[in-house]
């Protein structure tokens, strides 16, 4: 496994004492993400967004020097679990973040929580951790897995589509995705297919869709999976026979860069867009493009907000990171300006936030990209919060 330590040099913070709690002299973050293989683009964007936020804060989090230890989980649950154990036991990180895939997050959660280390999810939001397995050391600054799909289920219904084929990978987020879509879609599901998480050839699935003749197709295929499927879907001529919909993950800037004009007109839903009109987002988008030479994705925005949340918690506890109750309270308050606009944490530590409808179009510069059309849900909460009995 590949380990990289990114140490940001800054002036040492002065120590302060308040009872048994002492201010730390630095903040250490374990950023464990998928940095190789078909899903690597997603992890790289989370990493780059996170590190941009640290740079914006002068190399600090909450006023303290920040050290970010970056580790590749290789999209492997066992590698992820072992890496998490090393980060919390050997490196003694104060926070963890970065995981893209829900099966990996479920693998690392036990050792992270047992060590009383706060995990700030910048993507994966499995239903288990939103509901019966919610934990005081777990916060999701992105969404709960079902949410974007719920927004698209409502959209497809509102647009009058009656027969839909569904396709997602066979892992926890895939199951959550289609459950969320079906929660709000009122028509007929003509097929519901789950494929291996590493599948890149969708010839069989395309043939089944042609035979089923739905009027719409809904996919949740992140990263390279979505790139391959959309190319094959369009190449087979199905885009002329049925309308393709997806969540923001499957129609984001990484997919658009790889597929290009065949994606024009595709609708998708997200809690964030690069054209959202708020000061924090405008700065993030402009500086991300300057720093990395590409438009940011949803994943980059979530990595950025994960760092901003940590920054606020360290600031509001005056760096007393050994006071776990105070850190938890500060995280719950989420007193920072998010690139998505207003949001707050629900009782299960998942966001209550707006969800938007986007369409892929050409902008004034001739780029194929997303444009926000409107709001699907206002202040939307996930379906599992009522089953969370959050420990004190």
Q: What is the mean pLDDT of each run of 10 residues along the chain (392 residues)?
A: 47 38 90 95 97 98 98 98 98 98 98 98 98 98 98 98 98 96 98 95 97 97 92 95 94 94 95 97 98 97 98 98 98 98 97 98 95 98 98 87
The distance from CA 173 to its chain's CA centroid, rounded to whole angstroms, is: 11
For residues 329 and 227, state if they share a domain.
Answer: no
Rounded to 5 degrees, φ, ψ at 255 are -70, -40
- Give the count of domains, the chain: 2
Query: CB within 8 A of 138, min separation 6: which ones?
Result: 109, 113, 118, 119, 121, 129, 349
What range does the domain containing 164 cover? 146-270+357-380
Q: Considering only CA atoms, which of 359, 353, 329, 358 is closest in space to residue 339?
A: 353
| pLDDT for the residue numbered 11 | 32
Distance, CA of 268 to CA of 270 (rounded, Å): 7
| pLDDT for the residue numbered 22 | 76
| pLDDT for the residue numbered 8 | 43
The answer to whether position 38 is within a domain reads yes
Concatenated DSSP letters of 270-299: ES--TT--SHHHHHHHHHHHHHHSS---HH
Query: Residue 267, SS3?
Result: strand
Q: What is the dihedral of CA 198, 203, 208, 213, to 10 degrees?
A: 110
pTM of the model: 0.92
For residues 197 and 280, state if they share a domain.
Answer: no
Task: Write down the residue that tokens 């998942």 correspond to.
Answer: 350
CATH number of the domain within which 261 lies: 3.40.50.2300
| pLDDT for the residue numbered 43 | 98
| pLDDT for the residue numbered 4 | 54
The answer to whether position 236 is within a domain reads yes
The answer to whether position 352 is within a domain reads no
For residues 79 and 106, state if they share a domain.
Answer: yes
The answer to whether position 164 is within a domain reads yes
- Euclidean distance between the first and the last CA atom of the chain, given in angstroms as a whole number: 36
The answer to whether position 189 is within a domain reads yes
Q: What kind and span of H or E run contains 8?
A: none
The answer to whether position 300 is within a domain reads yes
Backbone torsion region of residue 171, taken as left when φ is above 0, otherwise alpha when ψ lies between -120 and 50, otherwise beta = beta
For residues 105 and 216, state if they share a domain.
Answer: no
Structural contact between residues 260 and 254, judged by C-beta atoms closer than 8 angstroms: no
* Neighbour count for residue 91 (Cβ, 10 Å): 16
For residues 331 and 363, state if they share a domain.
Answer: no
Distance, CA of 213 to CA of 196 (rounded, Å): 23
For residues 257 and 294, state if they share a domain.
Answer: no
Token pair of 341 as six digits: 């606009």
For residues 365 and 239, state if they share a domain.
Answer: yes
The answer to whether position 351 is within a domain reads no
For residues 41 and 126, state if they share a domain.
Answer: yes
| pLDDT for the residue numbered 146 | 98
For residues 104 and 185, state if they share a domain.
Answer: no
| pLDDT for the residue numbered 392 | 84
Q: Considering only CA atoms, which of 359, 370, 334, 253 is closest in space to residue 300?
A: 253
Query: CB within 8 A of 130, min separation 6: which ones?
Result: 140, 144, 145, 348, 350, 382, 384, 385, 388
The answer to whether position 11 is within a domain reads no
For residues 136 and 151, state if they share a domain.
Answer: no
For residues 110 and 256, state if they share a domain.
Answer: no
Would the CA dihedral through 136, 141, 146, 150 be positive or negative? Answer: positive
For residues 188 and 212, state if they share a domain.
Answer: yes
Rounded to 5 degrees, φ, ψ at 131 are -115, -115
């Amino acid at each position: 496994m590949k380990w990289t330590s990114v140490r940001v040099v800054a002036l040492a913070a002065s120590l302060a004492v308040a009872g048994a709690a002492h201010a730390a002299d630095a903040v250490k973050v374990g950023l464990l993400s998928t940095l190789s293989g078909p899903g690597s683009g997603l992890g790289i964007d989370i990493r780059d967004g996170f590190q941009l936020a640290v740079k914006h804060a002068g190399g600090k989090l909450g006023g303290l020097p920040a050290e970010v230890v970056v580790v590749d989980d290789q999209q492997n649950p066992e590698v992820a679990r072992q890496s998490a154990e090393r980060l919390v036991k050997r490196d003694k990180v104060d926070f963890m973040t970065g995981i893209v895939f829900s099966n990996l997050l479920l693998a690392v959660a036990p050792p992270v929580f047992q060590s009383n280390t706060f995990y700030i999810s910048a993507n994966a939001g499995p239903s288990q951790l939103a509901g019966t397995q919610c934990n005081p050391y777990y916060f999701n600054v992105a969404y709960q897995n079902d949410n974007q799909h719920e927004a698209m289920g409502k959209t497809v219904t509102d647009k009058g589509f009656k027969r839909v084929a569904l396709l997602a990978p066979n892992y926890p987020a895939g199951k959550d995705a289609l459950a969320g879509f079906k929660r709000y879609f009122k028509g007929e599901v003509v097929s519901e297919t789950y494929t291996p998480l590493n599948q890149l050839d969708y010839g069989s699935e395309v043939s089944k869709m042609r035979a089923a003749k739905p009027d719409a197709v809904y996919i949740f295929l992140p990263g390279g999976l979505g790139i391959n499927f959309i190319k094959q879907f369009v190449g087979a001529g199905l885009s002329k026979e049925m309308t393709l919909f997806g969540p923001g993950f499957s129609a984001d800037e990484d997919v658009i860069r790889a597929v290009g004009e065949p994606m024009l007109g595709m609708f998708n839903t997200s809690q964030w867009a690069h054209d959202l009109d708020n000061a924090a987002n405008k700065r993030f988008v402009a500086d991300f493009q300057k720093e990395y030479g590409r438009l940011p994705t949803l994943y980059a925005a979530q990595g950025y907000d994960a760092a901003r949340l940590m920054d606020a918690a360290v600031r509001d506890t005056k760096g007393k990171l050994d006071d776990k109750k105070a850190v938890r309270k500060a995280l719950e308050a989420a007193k920072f300006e998010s690139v998505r606009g207003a949001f707050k944490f629900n009782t299960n530590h998942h966001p209550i936030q707006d969800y938007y409808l986007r369409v892929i179009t050409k902008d004034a510069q001739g780029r194929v990209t997303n444009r926000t059309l409107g709001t699907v849900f206002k202040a939307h909460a996930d379906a599992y919060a009522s089953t969370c009995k959050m420990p004190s």
